[in-house]
Structure 1
């Protein structure tokens, strides 16, 4: 009898001890990231993601790419208001509101805000391994013949399509974010953790520059100090330094074109302006050696889309992630230069996107803005006044994410889209 009682007490003590040990280990493992905390966290995140986006993954509704409207007018009547002050077209890249036609789309709007053409982007024609609803059209470059070069986030392709959306060429690899033409027959884009140069006519990979393999190995103290601050040294210092997950997040590369090089005597035509989001770093890089000719940390935070400007300055899309306010900054690339805030949102013209976003300085000084996470395109004056805006409407409550807005003059295209394009039969 006594033996049975003590056996029970012993069993209870053993179970309680195990529970306490498990609780203590669970607490410590969550702090330290020990097994099984990461696995449990991943399982929870996967469960929440599936629950929230099952319609997206079944191609029923693009829930992963719907956002709350930006700006002041967020009601169901929102749409296009105002109008550009100049003749020309605005291209807008993002998700299609006509999901039965294509998942992604590039619109072409005239001065009156009317859509005069659209490029249906069929990702499944370009890459058979990834589902269209799980990638995002991001980089876009337009040609005078009406064709487009495109890149995708979370995808595996760069492609050029004709005016009807049919592939001219494709190249499969992890191309992402931005894409620009260098004026010499090459596209400059992002490949994995670096920059790539692509022949715009054939899609041939001509050259690439990797941050970890090329830029961080430049024999220059400034380079080492710039990049090693984001590394994790192994216990054995004799081993190679290992990088944290996505320590740089390169999100833009723009070549200095020959027709603008005279405004930047400190650089050469072909040098590349890059943005490393996680370092809050904007830099100009020599394409062959990877040597940085100029760089600056901040005051921008989690920035995108630095641009060379004709007046010899560089403008930067400062996301200001977490601050509730995005800005356009301007800096002259010389030592110790002050940074000017060109545009910041206000109560009258709110402006904020915590990620993504593009800007284009127009000939009259106005700025065209792609407020990605607000699903809105807007043009503002240097004084911060709203000229016009367009919401990319999905339904009464949500907008579609946009990733690019681009103005081109009326005579840009060889053939007028107002007079129609060749018969664009589906593939």
Structure 2
């Protein structure tokens, strides 16, 4: 026979639970804010942090399991509901060369308004009936003529994340058709030749950006919070610049320590005249682009040197120019954009920036004069139905138009010098006209810059 639990027992247990939650919460907060504590308190706070994180860990496991068991292997995570502002009226499937089993994105174009050239689209595409990360080469006549499948292999004792749980985020291609790429949450930087053969793999947490120098001999990318220069011939790391080095080299510019927790009072046992240094907050920098000043554009920027690095940090709303030899910051601007990406050097001495405007509802492309700080709008998101809160790339074209990859819209579009859209590509999901696949980047090449006919490759094996 069950006996009822006395009310006083229930109240006592509740009171004891509340008494436990107070020190437990203090320890969790201590673990979050004062990482690096030692001794018994440090051990207890770290243990409390692990316990507090347990529900989130369990949720992550179930999400991953659900993705792996879902139709299509969970690639749905790289789909977006098509922006209601974007209609498919007047769009047609892109032409695809024979032999390529690609479900084509849909396109609307004004060929007369386009600069003639090749375009590289990077993202998730349906190939042989399955979604995969890839790069597609579009001819000057707007036909998809070639593809590179983009993947990772185990390296440095690490296994790559499943393909359905990451997206290509950082790509460049040279004139010989070799493609260099990395992923969000990557374990490596990879080079594939024009025939999709893997040439080299460099271990590291590369992300966001892969930028070839003008000669194509080196490229710049990231390794977590380090800037990294890599030789394109063999993947050797030539130079690494750490952010602590940059902070130390710029003691008079307090740009990179904004997201640190500065204690108000000295901890017990510390002299009051000792510096108070707190831990960085979560994701303090979020590096997302690095671009060396090429010799051809150096005359437009006499205040800088060839090879100076144009760097973007999303979390600080910061774009700055860094001397890679001395680690000195030559120029910076904060807050002329919100959660920006992809600053580029322009031939007229300005810098173009992809201004996501994360909480504003429309994105834009702007240009800033580093001498006067004057900002002008090159692409107005309100007029072009353009918004991606995260990610995105842009390229200002010789005609004055702009090529834009609006990643979260699954969209690539191009404007002419008057801001009119002359090319619009939407990467529709074949089974759902209301959804789009992610597209992270697009690159334009002059018509005479590439010659795919010279990239002789053996016949592809059946998949």
Q: TM-score, normalised by structure 1?
A: 0.87
Q: Deviations over 1:36-67 (max 9, x none)?
A: 773255146426634763446x8624112111
Cα deviation for residue 338 of structure 1 reads 1.8
Structure 1: state its 5+ residue gaps.
1-6
Aligned pairs for 1:352-371 within 5 A: 352-371=387-406
Alignment correspondent of 2:103: none
Is residue 380 of structure 1 aligned with residue 375 of structure 2?
A: no
Whether the 8 Å CA contact 1:55–1:62 is kept in 2: the answer is no
1:179 to 210, 220, 236: 210
* Residues 136 and 155 in structure 1, CA contact (< 8 A), matched pair in contact too: no
Q: Deviations over 1:73-130 (max 9, x none)?
A: 1579771111442321110111131266772110011234311111122324778711
> Would you say how many aligned residue pairs link Structure 1 and Structure 2?
413
- Equivalence map 1:126-145=2 (5 Å): 129-130=159-160, 131-145=162-176
Deviations 1:304-329 (A, max 9, x none): 00000000000100001121110111
CA distance in 2, matches of 1:118, 1:178: 20
The offset of 1:14, in angstroms, is 3.0
1:153 to 176, 181, 184: 184
Q: Structure with the greater relative contact order (CA < 8 A, sep ≥ 6): 1 or 2?
A: 1
Q: Return the alpha-carbon distance in structure 2 between the equivalents of residues 52 and 318 of structure 1.
A: 34
1:62 counterpart (62, 70, 75): 75
CA contact (8 A) 2:75 2:131 kept: no
Contact 2:188–2:204 (8 Å) recurs in 1: yes
Aligned twin of 2:102: none
Q: Which residue of structure 2 lines up, in the alignment, with residue 12 of structure 1?
A: 7
Counterpart Cα distance in 1 of 2:152 and 2:55: 31
**2:60 aligns with one of 27, 41, 46:** 46
- Unaligned ranges ≥5, structure 2: 30-47, 93-105
Residue-by-residue CA offset, 1:334-380 (whole Å, 9 max, x unaligned): 2x52211221122x520000111000001111100000001011001
Partner of 1:338: 374
Of the three residues 70, 86, 101, the one matched with 1:72 is 86
Q: What root-mean-square deviation, in Å, do the aligned CA atoms of Structure 1 and Structure 2 show?
A: 3.0
**In 2, distance between residues paired with 1:305 and 1:420?**
33
- Report the TM-score, using the length of structure 2 for normalisation: 0.81
**Partners of 1:101 and 1:120 within 8 A in 2:** no
Distance 1:116 1:302 in 2: 35
SS in 1 for 2:299: helix
- For residues 361 and 411 of structure 1, the distance between their equivalents in structure 2, rounded to whole angstroms, comes to 18
Is residue 358–residue 388 contact of structure 2 (8 Å, CA) maintained in 1? Answer: yes
Q: 2:119 is matched with which residue?
A: 90
Greater Cα offset, 18-27 or 385-394? 18-27
